[in-house]
Amino acid sequence: MSPLRRLLRYAAPYRGRFAVALAAMAAYGGASAWLAYLVKPIFDEVLIKQQSLSTVAWAILAAYLLKGLGSYASSYLMADVGQHVVLDLRNEMFRRTLGQSAAFFKSRSTGQLLSRLTNDIAQVQQVVSETVADLLRESMAVVGFAGLLFSYDAGLALVCLTGAPLVMYPLVKLGQRLRRTTKRSQEHLEHMSHVATEAFTGHRIVKAFGAEEREAARFGLAARALYRVNLAVTATVSVMPPVMEFLGGVAMATALWYGSREIGAGRLTEGEFTAFLAALFLMYGPLKKLSRVNANIQQSIAASQRIFELIDTRSEVPEAPGAPALPPLAQAIEFRDVSFEYEDARGKSALRHISFTVRAGQTAAIVGRSGAGKTSLVNLIPRFYDVTGGAILIDGTDITRVSLASLRGQIGMVTQDTVLFDDTVAANIAYGRPAATAAAIEAAARAARAHEFIAGLPQGYRTVIGERGQRLSGGQRQRLAIARAILSDAPILILDEATSALDSESEGLVQDALANLMKDRTSFVIAHRLSTIQRADVIIVLERGRVAEVGRHEELLAKPDGIYAALHAVQFAAPRRRAATAPAGKAGA
């Protein structure tokens, strides 16, 4: 379907208002023509014969009143329709975008997405609320004026309006060109906001490495590219009005030359001729506006194509239509010959032929060197990504067959990089259970050993923690994330280096809380602490995307030359030396 027709479909629910706006436009067009018509009695009767002064004066007032009311009502109502369309479009776009897979967000930057949500929508908004109104309203005025011209002198009107079709061709050509330049302009805008978001979010690293000038230069380059293409847009847009104006001049000159002969021959009164000229003159404004309409429409087509492209992107973790809810986990989670490769790294498997089973209530520890595939493996369970081979089964049901909400509703997660929102401490802890009571939130915070530092914050649980929790320390952020997982009370728990940012003392305390939490749950734990791993029911050792060893602590330690034994020797047994072998990802977080 063409983007314009799709946009129109968004306007369909507001057709009542649209109809009233149309009526107001008709009034506007009629009043405009009426005003031009009044020029004739002004000349022929008021000025020459000194008659009907008050009638004409009242008529002028009435015509202006009608025109003003029509203009106001139509502008307001059309803007109302336009804003509604934009509102619906924005909400749908946001929802669709958020529903996309993790891979989608990896391939597009926040800046790009924001740019579509703001700049492209603004382009569309201009058209639906202003341009369409202009198109209809000014067309009606033009029809009114043209009617008047023809009623006075059809021949003269025909001569004056022959130029009109000539304008159409360049108008259409320019429109096509404009659609292309606008698309480029929006792309450059998107790139610029990408550069800016990246620099702003990474501002600390930028400063630490003294890269301000480099970032500024990068931004300057993007801004300059935008400037150039915007100028190209302007060059295209600005061609039309002068062309129109010149054609108007030609029409005027023709009318003057031809009209004076008609008056001389007595076929036209002076008043009629003046009214004719007035109508021609007044017609110019609407025509000029109309010449821009096509340009605006082409621009919004370019923008709406980009919007619909985003809305139409199908999520890579699709939910089967009418997918049933996953019943609560009762028996086991099974990885059956699971393979996985990232979309942007095809051919290079992140996980290969992984098979293991974790029974309900058990704790599985996943260990392996940095980059072995630990995070990739646990990300498959809530379907942030879908397996590319094999299947993950919960109680024998393939997780791709059940609804995403029911699957994710059973999973509590603490991720490697803590995600917090610019909201209060309490709201962050209760993110998974917004209805939780203050007492429940505090209990979760106590279990996560977070209560003490929260109590010390200026407004306690009501303290707003800043974007991404910037006002907290790394360890504090992590404890909030743990409290959130504790409160969510999900039967399946995924902890990806959940305690990595804590010092040994608070880590020990949180570890106890986590151990309590894990007791009646099925947990997948990526940890570096020996105690957690020792307690695990099953340890899965990953090595370059494969399961190298599976077993319990003692079994694995007993293996001579085992990977686990080697890891154990350098990593778990000597936590102080871990700083040197810490995954690179954390250094920058």
Ligand X SMILES: Nc1ncnc2c1ncn2[C@@H]1O[C@H](COP(=O)(O)OP(=O)(O)OP(=O)(O)O)[C@@H](O)[C@H]1O
Which partner from the list ligand X, Mg ion, none does 162 bind, CB cut-off 5 to 8 Å by kind? none
In the complex with Mg ion, the residue whose CB is nearer, 175 or 545, is 545
Contact pattern from residue 402 through residue 421 relative to ligand X, giving x for each residue in contact according to CB under 6 A and a dash for the rest: --------------x-----
Question: What percentage of the chain's residues is helix, strand, coil (to nearest 5)?
Answer: 65, 10, 20
Stretch in the footprint of ligand X (CB under 6 A) among 71-79, 257-265, 368-376, 419-427: 368-376
Contact pattern from residue 441 through residue 460 relative to ligand X, giving x for each residue in contact according to CB under 6 A and a dash for the rest: --------------------
In the complex with ligand X, the residue whose CB is nearer, 330 or 345, is 345
367-406: contacts with Mg ion (CB under 5 A): 375
Longest dimension (CA), the chain: 120
**51, 91, 176, 370: which one binds ligand X (CB under 6 A):** 370
Which partner from the list ligand X, Mg ion, none does 342 bind, CB cut-off 5 to 8 Å by kind? ligand X
In the complex with ligand X, the residue whose CB is nearer, 91 or 355, is 355
Contact pattern from residue 302 through residue 341 relative to ligand X, giving x for each residue in contact according to CB under 6 A and a dash for the rest: ----------------------------------------
Which partner from the list ligand X, Mg ion, none does 51 bind, CB cut-off 5 to 8 Å by kind? none
Q: Is 412 helix (H, G, I), strand (E, B) or coil?
A: strand
523-552: contacts with ligand X (CB under 6 A): none
Spatial strand order of the sheet with 397-398 comes to: 351-359, 332-340, 389-394, 397-398
Q: Is 169 helix (H, G, I), strand (E, B) or coil?
A: helix
Cα torsion 542, 543, 549, 555: sign: negative
What lies within 8 Å, CB to CB, of 420 at 6+ separation is: 428, 465, 468, 469, 472, 477, 480, 481
Which partner from the list ligand X, Mg ion, none does 445 bind, CB cut-off 5 to 8 Å by kind? none
> What residue has token string 């609560």?
328
Number of residues in contact with ligand X under rule CB under 6 A: 16
- In angstroms, give the least distance from the CB of 351 to Mg ion: 13
Residue with the shortest CB distance to Mg ion: 375
Residue with the shortest CB distance to ligand X: 583
Length of the chain: 589
- In angstroms, give the least distance from the CB of 468 to ligand X: 19
Kindly tell me the burial class for residue 483, based on how many C-beta atoms sit within 10 Å of its own C-beta (0-12, 13-18, 19 or more): buried
**375, 410, 511, 532: which one binds ligand X (CB under 6 A):** 375
Residue 553 and residue 524 in contact, taking contact as beta carbons nearer than 8 Å: no
Structure tokens at 459: 């407004």
Residue 545 and residue 350 in contact, taking contact as beta carbons nearer than 8 Å: yes
- In angstroms, give the least distance from the CB of 100 to ligand X: 14
- Answer yes or no whether residue 475 interacts with ligand X by CB under 6 A: no
569-588: contacts with ligand X (CB under 6 A): 583, 585
103-122: contacts with ligand X (CB under 6 A): 106
Which partner from the list ligand X, Mg ion, none does 428 bind, CB cut-off 5 to 8 Å by kind? none
Distances (CA, A) of 317 to 245, 313, 434: 56, 12, 26
In the complex with ligand X, the residue whose CB is nearer, 64 or 105, is 105
**248, 271, 373, 412: which one binds ligand X (CB under 6 A):** 373
> What residue has token string 């504790």?
486
In the complex with ligand X, the residue whose CB is nearer, 376 or 506, is 376
End-to-end CA distance of the chain: 45
**274, 294, 376, 415: which one binds ligand X (CB under 6 A):** 376
Which partner from the list Mg ion, ligand X, none does 376 bind, CB cut-off 5 to 8 Å by kind? ligand X
- In angstroms, give the least distance from the CB of 110 to Mg ion: 21
CA 156 – CA 149 distance, rounded (Å): 8
Burial 226-235 (b: 16+ CB within 10 A, else e): beebbebbee
Distances (CA, A) of 527 to 49, 172, 534, 589: 101, 64, 11, 18
Residue 377 and residue 351 in contact, taking contact as beta carbons nearer than 8 Å: yes
**342, 421, 431, 453: which one binds ligand X (CB under 6 A):** 342
Residue ranges of E strands in 219-362: 332-340, 351-359
In the complex with ligand X, the residue whose CB is nearer, 152 or 340, is 340
CA 96 – CA 77 distance, rounded (Å): 29
Stretch in the footprint of Mg ion (CB under 5 A) among 87-95, 147-155, 233-241, 410-418: 410-418
In the complex with Mg ion, the residue whose CB is nearer, 336 or 586, is 586
Q: Is 337 helix (H, G, I), strand (E, B) or coil?
A: strand
Q: Which residues bind ligand X (CB under 6 A)?
A: 106, 342, 344-345, 350, 368, 370-376, 416, 583, 585
- What residue ranges bind Mg ion (CB under 5 A)? 375, 416
